[in-house]
Amino acid sequence: MTTHVELRPGAYADSVTLLQVSRTVQGLDGVVAAQVAMATPLNIEVLTGMGFDVPAEATPNDLVVALRLEDAGALATALAGVDQALRDANRRETGPSEQAPPRTTGSAFRRTSDAIALVSVPGPSAFVEAMDALEAGHDVMVFSDNVPLDQEVALKRAAAEQRLLVMGPDCGTAVVGGLGLGFANVVSPGPVGIVAASGTGCQQVLALLDHAGVGVSSALGVGGRDLSAEVRGLATREAMRRLDEDPAVELIVLISKPPADDVAAEIREYAGTLATPVEYALLGPGQPDLTAATEAVLRRLGREVPAWPVTGSAAPNAGAIRGPFAGGTLASEARLITELLAGTGGGHTFVDFGDDEYTAGRAHPMIDPSIRLEHLARAAADPATGVLLLDVVLGHGAEPDPAASLAPALAGIGKPVVVAVVGTDADPQGLARQVRALADAGAEVHLSNAGATRRAIELSGGRA
């Protein structure tokens, strides 16, 4: 066994491209492990934990190639594979009459007048592209995370002056004109319009409504900080205004991570000026969880509330709940429910691996599960751990087969595992197939994250 680590100063590729390159190289003969990534502090920490010795002079502007090989004779082939995979990822097929691609967001809009901008670049570069779209008179969805708060405020103030909509930053999910953007689930059109300061919170409600047979006309993400004291719901107001003017929307649902109290009060006051009724799914102490809020939506629409499906069964095991989550809102919801029902003294921990600190220079865990899988293994080995609670979020843009890597990690883990699988029957990963694979690996699988959390509390010895 031999290792090889090299830096390539000034080379850059986005995290999703590098994830694909790493997987391609790891499949070559003689390659045991391959990690090709930007040398951010987080990636260096991960590589060090894998046993690679990264040169001390590495900076986030360097590309690091780390290989573990069966023997030194495989090195030349592996490096050639890295180079080829990078070339393949960057190759563009162009025909002889094809126009050169536009160099700026503004020039792209001069070619098409009816479009929104989707910005997915490193966070420090997102502001320029998003402002370019606004100055061209178009809405923008900022998928990028790690965007400074003051830049978000500036973008949304500029948008408000023109009645434009900024979805994001860190907007992971939207449905616009029937088209899913980001990590959106596949849903049918229907009477509900969603405004979501939460990506996975939106997806949870989409999944539950779909199971109940209720469609969604639009889901406008506004970024998780929109109802903060600094941003003050600027995008939320515009999104609600648009849904109020949409004749297909019978009921607006507002979803958010815990908002600032005074901002939530202002938004409720604004909702009172609209002709379309509004239901709230604002997480926080004393507020309904996302499943309860969805049930309120169904009752308001005059629809029956179904039983939320559960597949598999886990056995009780006293101890702390460990929650390695991919979805930030789902992690927040699990924490709030656990604190309410089991208190704060049980050593329970919940980690959002989609938080900015874990995604700098790396793909979101809904795309690249490697960091969460490492944490899961450590949590399972901890004797204080009683129950493992986690989420799997399906939809466009997410990992094509999350159970393929997660199910082997869960098999034989020796402790109860409860999983919330958030998705619809039409999602490309196949909801039923994912649920069955995880249940066959020993997990108890829920569609409701709140239901999964309550079950984890019960299994760990707390109150259900």
| Structure confidence by residue, pLDDT tens digits, 238-259 | 999 999 999 999 999 999 999 9
Classify residue 121 by its DSSP letter.
S
- Based on its alpha-carbon atoms, the radius of gyration of the chain, rounded to whole angstroms, reads 23
pLDDT of residue 360: 77
- Which stretch of DSSP H or E encloses residue 444? strand 444-446
pLDDT of residue 23: 86
Tell me the whole-structure pTM to 2 decimals. 0.87
For the segment 426-430, the average pLDDT, to the nearest whole number, is: 97
Question: Are residues 255 and 195 in contact, defined by beta-carbon separation less than 8 angstroms?
Answer: yes
- Residue ranges, comma separated, of all CATH 3.40.50.261 domains in the chain are 105-300, 310-460
> Domain 2-90 falls in which CATH fold?
Alpha-Beta Plaits (3.30.70)
Q: pLDDT tens across 181-221, in order?
A: 999 999 999 999 999 999 999 999 999 999 999 999 999 99
Check residues 254 and 179 and name the one with the higher pLDDT. 254
Extended beta strands in 89-137, E state:
117-119
Its CATH class, for the domain covering 310-460, is alpha beta
pLDDT bucket at 127, cuts 50 / 70 / 90: very high
Residue among 115, 133, 283 at smallest CA distance from 201: 283
> Would you say the C-alpha torsion 297, 303, 305, 308 has a positive or negative sign?
negative
Q: Look at residue 226 and tell me whether its pLDDT is greater than 90.
A: yes
State how far the alpha carbon of 385 is from the alpha carbons of 300, 326, 327, 446, in Å.
40, 19, 21, 21
pLDDT of residue 133: 94
pLDDT of residue 95: 52
pLDDT of residue 328: 93
Q: Look at residue 94 and tell me whether its pLDDT is greater than 80.
A: no
Number of Cα atoms under 13 Å in the Cβ half of residue 174:
26
Q: pLDDT tens across 13-25, in order?
A: 878 788 889 989 9
Residues 406 and 37: their CA atoms lie apart, in Å, by 22
Classify residue 74 by its DSSP letter.
G
Question: Are residues 60 and 39 in contact, defined by beta-carbon separation less than 8 angstroms?
Answer: yes
3-state secondary structure of 360: coil
pLDDT of residue 19: 85
State how far the alpha carbon of 113 is from the alpha carbons of 138, 329, 387, 431, in Å.
9, 35, 52, 37
For the segment 324-333, the average pLDDT, to the nearest whole number, is: 96
> Domain 105-300 falls in which CATH fold?
Rossmann fold (3.40.50)
pLDDT bucket at 12, cuts 50 / 70 / 90: confident
Residues 127 and 125: their CA atoms lie apart, in Å, by 6
Residues 438 and 261: their CA atoms lie apart, in Å, by 39
Residue among 300, 218, 224, 232 at smallest CA distance from 261: 232
pLDDT bucket at 337, cuts 50 / 70 / 90: very high
Q: Look at residue 227 and tell me whether its pLDDT is greater than 90.
A: yes
For the segment 323-349, the average pLDDT, to the nearest whole number, is: 94
pLDDT of residue 15: 80
pLDDT of residue 292: 98
For the segment 152-157, the average pLDDT, to the nearest whole number, is: 98
3-state secondary structure of 163: coil
pLDDT bucket at 99, cuts 50 / 70 / 90: low
Mean pLDDT of the residues in the chain:
93
How many residues in the chain? Answer: 464
Type of residue at 415: K
